[in-house]
A = this chain, B = another copy of it.
């Protein structure tokens, strides 16, 4: 089959690889209907993290189950499924606690580990899915082609934006500022509105993303950053800062912006993968009682809750996809994301 392989920084190729095969009894083979390129895929692409040898890549996909192992009870051939960006059993203590990203049996796509051999990256034609009953969420059919984009966001960005909002404790009537206007930041706006926030401030300088932010529920746009950004957020929030701030970038600067834009007693919900590990200034947090909560988003547990609103059209996160390319053009997908010509790219095998 064809799959995307990263060979080195800026060297993305679609190549023939071995077809996946069932190996554990609890796994499934899924034919990929759509996959995407994630902001975190750009780290090896840009050389921020090193690529020591060519390896498969991608971790967000939806597809149709082709085959299941004898121990798979819930998922069956023909099911349309959403795969989160990681593998989990959905039964261990951490999964039960809502933190399936810390599943005691789980793991990551594109890795060769205790999950019964290699688990394919998602940017390919087929994927072997370990722990299929725990990992995959079944979408009752029929599934229209126009639903693909929205469903695909549940594999990562919509669930991740939702996790930022949940972690920050967004509730009805809150003022919320969102730092980051990528796909996750835009989905965080959807999530904040869905949870009842009434003032939603999108921090963005990008005209098209500003427009989508407004469409998703942002009530205000702040283009300023740093001190000026803090001042602008305060001007919109009784001069104290936002009740909740959703940090969807992961740099030292974005976290600093988030912490300082939060009111005393407020909370930062963060999902931006800490790039280089910015440390948090606890002294400043202490004096103002600003909390920080979040992390790698346990999106598997959010799929069932968000699915009805996605299918009904009540929320339309699929609009973050502004470019759809065939799998064969994966290299162009990466380039478009890297150069910010696209917010989020969908790949169709």
Contacts and interface: CB of A to CB of B under 8 A. Distances in A.
A140 interface: no
A288 B295 contact: yes
A48 interface: no
Contact of A292 (B101, B277, B280): B280
Interface stretch (A75-83, A186-194, A224-232, A260-268): A260-268
Interface string A258-286: 00000111010010011001111111011
A97 B263 contact: yes
A109 to B, nearest CB: 17
Contacts of A98: 265
A291 interface: yes
Given A277-B281, A278-B282, A280-B279, A289 B93 contact: no
B267 A293 contact: yes
- As for how many copies of this chain the complex holds, the number is 2
Nearest to A289: B295
Contacts of A94: 240, 263-265
A53 interface: no
Contacts of A294: 286, 289, 291
B291 A291 contact: yes
Nearest to A265: B99
A282 B255 contact: yes
Given A265-B94, A279-B279, A280-B279, A101 B289 contact: yes
B292 A296 contact: no
A102 interface: yes
A287 interface: yes
Interface in A230-245: 238-240
A282 B274 contact: yes
A215 to B, nearest CB: 30
B277 A280 contact: no
Nearest to A250: B286
B283 A292 contact: no
Nearest to A284: B277
A151 to B, nearest CB: 24
Nearest to A288: B102
A167 interface: yes
A264 B102 contact: yes
B279 A240 contact: no
A290 interface: yes
17 contacts: A93-B238, A99-B264, A99-B288, A99-B289, A102-B289, A167-B291, A255-B282, A270-B282, A273-B286, A278-B282, A279-B281, A280-B292, A286-B295, A287-B295, A289-B298, A291-B293, A292-B292
Which 7 pairs of residues, A with B, have the shortest CB-CB distance?
A291-B293, A289-B295, A102-B264, A99-B265, A279-B279, A280-B280, A277-B283
